[in-house]
Amino acid sequence: EVQLVESGGGLVQPGRSLRLSCAASGFTFDDYAMHWVRQAPGKGLEWVSGISKNSADIGYADSVKGRFTISRDNAKNSLYLQMNSLRPEDTALYYCAKRPPTFPAFDSWGQGTLVTVSS
């Protein structure tokens, strides 16, 4: 069974940093691109960042470019999101999601970790 378990969320002041992690199991992690998608309270879904299976290709939404860094450790079956210079508008539930190689959608999601940016 595919499992994606996010951690690292919490309450943080504007301008501070946070590092999210996503532990993967139940599939061959290094066969899949991985992504972060967020959802602000009561709002829709927003793609944040994605990384190819070998980390060669990385992309970011304009809203986080230059502040967030995605990475992965295939030996540890883990995905990360380093978030710097956090803003109140970054407040959201952050999901990690798995993207299969055969079609551009997200076929498994974690339960999310909540990031709240507030003074």
Partner 1 sequence: EIVLTQSPGTLSLSPGERATLSCRASQSVSSSNLAWYQQKPGQAPRLLIYGASTRATGIPDRFSGSGSGTDFTLTISRLEPEDFAVYHCQQYGSSPPYTFGQGTKLEIK
Binding site residues, partner 1, CB under 8 A: 35, 37, 44-47, 50, 59, 61-62, 95, 103-112
User: If we measure between CA atoms, which residue out of 74, 71, 30, 73 comes closest to residue 49?
Assistant: 71
Of 42 and 75, which has the nearer Cβ to partner 1?
42
In the complex, least distance from residue 105 CB atom to partner 1, rounded to whole angstroms: 4
In the complex, least distance from residue 79 CB atom to partner 1, rounded to whole angstroms: 15
In the complex, least distance from residue 75 CB atom to partner 1, rounded to whole angstroms: 26
Compute the distance between CA of residue 107 and CA of residue 104 in angstroms, rounded to an integer.
Answer: 9
Of 13 and 54, which has the nearer Cβ to partner 1?
54
In this structure, are residues 27 and 107 in contact, taking their beta carbons and an 8 Å threshold? Answer: no
Q: Which two tokens stand for residue 24?
A: 């993967």
Centre a 10 Å sphere on the Cβ of residue 58 and count the other Cβ atoms it contains.
13
